[in-house]
Chain A
Amino acid sequence: MLETHSLTASYGQFKALFGIDITVAPGECVAIIGANGAGKTTLLRSISGVLRNAPGMVVHKGTPIGTLPADAVVQRGIAMVPEGRKLFPSLSVEENLLIGGQVRRGDARWTLETVYALFPILKERRLSPATALSGGQQQMVAIGRALMSNPELLLCDEISLGLAPVVIRDIYAALPRIRETGAAVVIVEQDITRALAVADRVYCLMEGRVTLTGPTASTTRDAVHAAYFGDAA
């Protein structure tokens, strides 16, 4: 459904990605792991259109979308939960969700009701300013906001960032219910154990290159370790 072909990206003179090839199949859950600064966020930003690339570097359902702006990419059914949540402080919780649903695609799998059913606490706090919520609740808003566009592919950038373990568990509990709708999910995660537990396949990035790829079932922790830190084990 989604492929990248020799995807490169740079910030000014600085090159962050050196030819990344990944694929995501419909309904699949793919984990992307790597140390700080490996280029995970840059990869998601390239896919989602925040960073522009050459057309053929990102291909969605056979169409090159590398040069599409972010708003056109969402309309194709690729939504992103950005790193650091990036809620709109001027908007209430409910308005943050509604703005995610501004582009509604196809059947209404996700509505305010279903998002509130997924994260009941948000219904209670629906009129609060989004940034008045706790970190975990804010993360729920960010996920709900992305779901509101009914994506076929959901990109999640470090949804556990800065959260306590119990809160992380709550957030991850939503993942199976998101996948039930048939959406494919790409998660960027620092916690290797969790990534291997929830995903079907894994890519490990190091310094802008893919150093390991394979099904999580057959990936050993030692292999990940080597790919992660680059020691030639």
Chain B
Amino acid sequence: MKHAMQVTVTTRTRASTVAGSVALGLIGLGLILPAFASRSLIQDLFFILTMLTLAQLWNLIAGYGGMVSVGQQAFVGIGAYAMFAGVILLGWDPVFAILLGGIAAFLLAIPMAFFAFRLQGAYFAIGTWVIAEVTRLIIAQWKTLGGGTGTSLPREATADIIGVATIANLFDLRDAAARDVLAYWLALALAVGTMAAIYALLRSRNGLALAALRDNDNAARSVGVDAGRLKWLVFLAAAAMTGLVGALIYMQTARISPDAAFSVTSWTAYVIFIVVIGGIGRLEGPILGVLVFWGLQTAFSDYGSWYLLALGLIAIAVMLFARGGFGA
């Protein structure tokens, strides 16, 4: 398919029609999948879809926007904690509390951008990392949500999440499995929504401006785009979406701790690995990357730190010898 796209302009439109129908077909298949898929497949797909969304979002800000954040765990963590706060403190339904996650991440992103955008080039990366660490330390002081050790979603809250009973009846599942199906559908919606939004953004005039912004701020200014505003917009939107994903992930696990929710390894290192492996700055990169990553994760994650050591080395090797990732 990739080769077809490169041939000529006419086949490209045909190829993209084909690609579009394939995508729609896949989405349809994804929607009805819970009717016949096993619970463990649904859980795997949940993992793949959430990581894919996080990777697409990081690819948007770093690959397209040139803002290399290594503090994405701040948004996952704050999103997850906001969702927990909504459920535990306000008694909200977890599904609605996910929205709080998006809002909290958005609000955190404002001071973060304010601070980090002031930092030149590469110091931006450390700046985002610092803020993520500080946020983790502050959240760990929040005793009602378990402080440093964390907490779980109360049983009564997880028992009657909206839609779970219907799903359970529909597919003849137990409640726990039905919750996974719900989480999976939400993950599918977030993944598709995110990719559609990024695709639309890249095809618009702002997409070109974003590329110009990464390559050279002055060039962006000369094509008549307010570079500063576009940067803010992209960064805040990606943060809010990342917060939603974080909240969703922790709705599914139903157990949270600051170390896990603000883990630089899980929410930034893995995500960067996915993007680098698949090919940075390309929409299809994270899709390929997440599949490779999922395969490695399934096969080798039992090896613990050897596995992580290998991931680090693979990422270095890709940057040294195959800059465009395996998809190139």
A–B touch (CB < 8 A): the answer is: no
Interface, chain B (partner A; CB < 8 A): none
Residues of A within 8 A of B (CB): none
